[in-house]
Structure 1
Amino acid sequence: MKLTLIRGLPGSGKSTLAKTLSAHHVEADMYFVHENGDYIFDVSQLEQAHRWCQQRTEQWLSLGEDVVVANTFVRRWEMKAYQRIAQRFGAELKVITCKGEYQNIHGVSPEVIARMRRRWQE
């Protein structure tokens, strides 16, 4: 059983890569997709979105299934919860960093991406 974390700035190819892996794919952005398919981001719900993502990861791992999580993970500490989840379920943990430069599908402004780039931790 494997937990793969894919990290990178918006537009780096995280979601595209995640979709190619044979694992259950979750990411915080999925929390903001409504039943009609509209993506409506609400920064006030970001913490809930990440909690939801962690809960989905735990659910799949508890069933012995592989999981891939594609989030920005700009700071190293943002991966800690997933490291603990992997340990709890005895899952192999793999971290992949995407560095592509594609158009980001969620309309994140260049200013926000630049700020994230400055905060990035390898």
Structure 2
Amino acid sequence: MNSPPLTLTLIRGLPGSGKSTLAATLDAVHLEADMYFVDKQGTYNYRAEDIWLAHQWCQQQTEQQLALGKNVVVANTFVKQWEMQAYRDLALKYKAVLEVKCCNGCFPNIHDVSDSVIKKMRDNWED
């Protein structure tokens, strides 16, 4: 009997749109670049200069989990289409079904992203 194919789900949306909430409902390893900024005590300490490292970490964790045969859900803003390319490549490499979901809710964002930053993200959004 064949096992079901791996699934890699990408959840995209602006801060406060419900990405993390949706990701938590899926039966998969939940990853986000923001997790890179959470210390062992659970405190979130965002450092803009390390955002590239956070995304690299998230991609590495995704590959590690797919290699272990686990379904993965990644919840990041993914404002630009190119930001999902590394994950598209991983889906191909591990023969995972790729699903992309978009969140459009309007909730308080948990990381206090300013309205001006969210507006800039909205203005730069690629469908």
Q: TM-score range by the shorter chain?
A: over 0.9
Percent of matched pairs sharing the same residue: 57
Provide the residue aligned with 1:6 in structure 2: 11
Gaps of 5+ in 2: 1-5
Gaps of 5+ in 1: none
Q: What is the alpha-carbon distance in structure 2 between the residues aligned to residue 63 and residue 39 of structure 1? A: 28
Q: What is the alpha-carbon distance in structure 2 between the residues aligned to residue 83 and residue 37 of structure 1? A: 30
* Superposed counterparts of 1:35-54, under 5 Å: 35-54=40-59
2:64 is aligned, of 56, 59, 62, to 59
| One-letter identity of the residue aligned with 2:65 | W
* Superposed counterparts of 1:95-114, under 5 Å: 95-114=100-119
Q: What is the alpha-carbon distance in structure 1 between the residues aligned to residue 69 and residue 36 of structure 2? A: 23
Deviation at 1:64, TM superposition (A): 1.1
Deviation at 1:63, TM superposition (A): 1.1
Provide the residue aligned with 1:90 in structure 2: 95
Q: Render the CA deviation track for 1:32-88: whole Å, top value 9, x for unaligned.
A: 001111101001110000000000100110011100000000000000000001100
Q: What is the alpha-carbon distance in structure 2 between the residues aligned to residue 82 and residue 38 of structure 1? A: 27
Q: Does 1:117 align with 2:107?
A: no
TM-score, L = length of structure 2: 0.95
Q: CA RMSD in A?
A: 0.4
Runs of 4+ residues over 2 Å off in structure 1: none
Q: What is the alpha-carbon distance in structure 1 between the residues aligned to residue 76 and residue 15 of structure 2? A: 9
TM-score, L = length of structure 1: 0.99
Count of residues in correspondence between the two structures: 122
